[in-house]
A and B are shown apart, each in its own frame.
Chain A
Amino acid sequence: MNQQRRVEWSRLDNASKYFAATYSERDEKVFRISCELFEGVEPEILQQALDETIERFPYYRSVLRRGIFWYYLENSDIHPLVEKESKPVCAPIYREHERKLLFRVLYYNKRISIEVFHALSDGSGALRFMMTLVYHYLLIKHGEEFSGKIPELNYNASISEKRDDSFNRYYQGRHFKKKVKRKNQISLFTKVYRIRGTRLEENRMKIIEGAMSAKAVLDEAHKYNTTMTVFLSALLFRSIYMDMPVRKKDYPLVLVVPINLRQFFKSETSSNFFSTMNISYRFGKDSTDLNEIIGSLNESFRRELTEERLNEQLYWQMSIEKNPFARIMPLPIKNISIRIADAVVEMGITASISNLGKINMPSEFESYIRQFSVIPNVKRPQLAVCTYGDRLVVTFASPFEETEVQKNFFKSLSEMGIRVEISSNM
């Protein structure tokens, strides 16, 4: 019996705890980030790039394990391998008792994709991993073309910064006093409109990806004096409304919008660090005027995105996990409670939109990278947006067969004179 080297392990952060408890066959909590190049991907070079990248993100070598009271992440020495895409989009990653990595790297024709189990990282965290991977790929592949001047990736963080539990860092503790009384626009008992549809076989999801000029969309948004996210949210609200049955027309719509907390609190973590806000809107008597919707949304975004509100939300998220009663609950009971709470919350949600923002890669890479895209994990129709250069990619993921909302959404963009290029997995 020889002595073993001590194995590093870490607690899950606040959001990871939620994802580890609520993943299911219907919503595997797996999302994807893709990067499309102008040329075919070479698997051997991608593998070399992955080997380089994993050295810089040792945290991605973690496996998820069950303890008596909480899950935890344990370092492993599993060597990640690139795979040719051969499973449905965002296929399951984590399975109880299986000791496997929580992400996979795929390639297919011109695309490099990573799929990540949400308990490992959120979109912004995984994007950092993805950018590093693509960076190394292009550097190995086209290194000599940069004539000695090696482009630099604008992301420098220490290994410990990358695995920082920023939720815990910015949790203000029990003495935190709410300054403003939170006013709920929509009570828990109001019936919120939810999109229904025919589920796809094998719980697959339908991906519809629309690429367009970022500048053109931004110009449209500026016409209404608003931002890209608000503008796209408003379009989404209207697209859903157009598809609503008449008898439900006066139900409110609620969009969940994840907020990347790295923008507000200093953090370089490649783990989870986000919060969410609920934006609701109730349509008046058949008025689908975009101005009205945007006006209301602008107001909601302004109200939610204040330091006070974000601190409050963070405090609220953390206080559940810090509750002594919750802490000593055995894991299976904890999981059931979280699942029930999640199902209740889910009742009040119509759809979701998340914007990963503008992705910056070294300018030398412009002629190699066509676009980045993000596929969110879905329980309900969900939208994810990201921009690279002038290419804005809006990805609609839905567990349903029907595509009415998607059609309304992209059609309204094309009717504004924006050229929309669609691709789909079905």
Chain B
Amino acid sequence: MIYCNYCKIYIRDKKAKCPLCGNVLPENGRIEKAEDIFPVIPLTYERHILIRILIFISIVAIVASYVVYKIVPTNVNWPGFVLFGLLSVWLSLIYALRKRYNITKSIMWQVIIVSGLVIFWDWKIGWMGWSLDYAVPFLCIAAMLVMYITAKVMKLSARDYISYFLLGGLFGIIPILFILFDLVKVNYPSYISVAASIIFLSAIIIFHGDSIKEELRKRMHI
């Protein structure tokens, strides 16, 4: 073992400098015999590099579009669309990444976020009603389908998806409000969504009622 004259201690592992005082250790040929106790782990720099590149590209795109708009003015404020478009994509992407370990939860979040975004866009470009007429109801139906398929394909167990199935089913009933308050011009997507949700909900309650109860007891315990 190498001896540090300053600290008066022996050093077991391979070190050129004393880990305590930082002084250079006397080289007395015994370094080869030193033990290898802790592995040397290199620093990891490349973390999130893709995300960084994407953020950089987004900023460049926004700046460039505003500059072009100022130089060549048009009637439509299209850089605004670039900005909100990118913000929408990022919002959706961040949630998709954050919830990536729970696929059904991720789908639920996407439905909520994307619904919010389409309504916002519809309103921004002068309310034509397509968001409530088509987008939201079809999103709900698609979500239920996708959730069911992923749960089956990935062989998830009931406790993993059941609460999100429940939420998805409940969310799909919301379009009934569109009809009741006469917010929509085209009715049939909302009807389909509500009907599908009721069938979906009754199926999971009938076949998975116990799981739901168990899952709720677990998640809601105080």
List residues of A whose CB falls within 8 A of some B CB. Answer: 1, 3-4, 6-7, 9, 11, 36, 67-70, 72, 74, 85-89, 95, 97-99, 108-111, 201-202, 207-208, 210-211, 327-328, 403, 406-407, 410-411, 414-415, 419-426
Contact = CB atoms under 8 A, between A and B. Distances in A.
Given A403-B19, A411-B8, 20 more contacts: A1-B208, A4-B159, A6-B214, A7-B214, A36-B37, A67-B218, A68-B220, A86-B41, A88-B41, A202-B43, A202-B44, A208-B20, A403-B20, A406-B20, A407-B20, A414-B7, A414-B9, A422-B10, A423-B12, A425-B38
B67 to A, nearest CB: 38
B99 A97 contact: yes
A419 B222 CA distance: 53
Interface in B175-222: 207-208, 210-211, 214, 218-222
A340 B189 CA distance: 48
Interface string B8-40: 111111010001111000000000000111110
B19 A422 contact: yes
Contact of B218 (A1, A3, A72, A406): A72
A421 B98 CA distance: 45
A98 B101 contact: yes
Contact of B19 (A70, A74, A414, A424): A424
Contact of A68 (B11, B210, B219): B219
Contacts of A422: 7, 9-12, 19-20
A201 B8 contact: no
Contact of B7 (A36, A95, A411): A411
19 contacts: A1-B208, A7-B157, A68-B219, A68-B220, A70-B222, A72-B218, A74-B218, A97-B99, A97-B101, A108-B38, A208-B19, A211-B12, A327-B222, A403-B21, A406-B20, A411-B7, A422-B10, A422-B12, A423-B13
A425 B19 CA distance: 9
Interface of B: 1, 7-13, 15, 19-22, 35-39, 41, 43-44, 98-102, 105, 157-159, 207-208, 210-211, 214, 218-222
A89 B12 contact: no
A242 to B, nearest CB: 14
Given A4-B159, A67-B218, A72-B218, A89 B38 contact: yes
- The interface centre, meaning the residue of A86, A327, A410, A423 with most chain B CB atoms within 10 A of its CB, is A423
Which applies to chain B's interface (DSSP): helix, strand, loop or mixed? loop
A196 B9 CA distance: 25
B9 A109 contact: no
Contacts of A89: 38
Contact of A69 (B15, B99, B207, B221): B221
A328 B38 contact: no
Contacts of B207: 1
A327 B222 CA distance: 6
A67 B8 contact: no
Given A4-B157, A403-B20, A87 B7 contact: no
Contacts of B221: 11, 67, 69-70, 72
B211 A4 contact: yes
A424 B208 contact: no
Nearest to B106: A97
A420 B9 contact: yes
A72 B10 CA distance: 46
Contacts of A424: 13, 15, 19, 38
A419 B7 CA distance: 11
B1 A67 contact: no
Contacts of A421: 1, 9-12
A403 B22 contact: yes
Given A201-B43, A425-B38, A97 B98 contact: yes
A111 B37 contact: yes
A180 to B, nearest CB: 32
A86 B39 contact: yes
Contact of A67 (B22, B43, B220): B220
Contacts of A201: 43
Contacts of A328: 222
B20 A69 contact: no
Contacts of A99: 101
B102 A97 contact: yes
B218 A109 contact: no
Contacts of B102: 97
Given A69-B222, A72-B221, A407 B21 contact: yes
A109 B19 contact: no
B36 A426 contact: no
Contact of B11 (A109, A406, A414, A423): A423
Contact of A87 (B12, B41, B214): B41
Given A4-B159, A88-B41, A208-B19, A419 B10 contact: yes
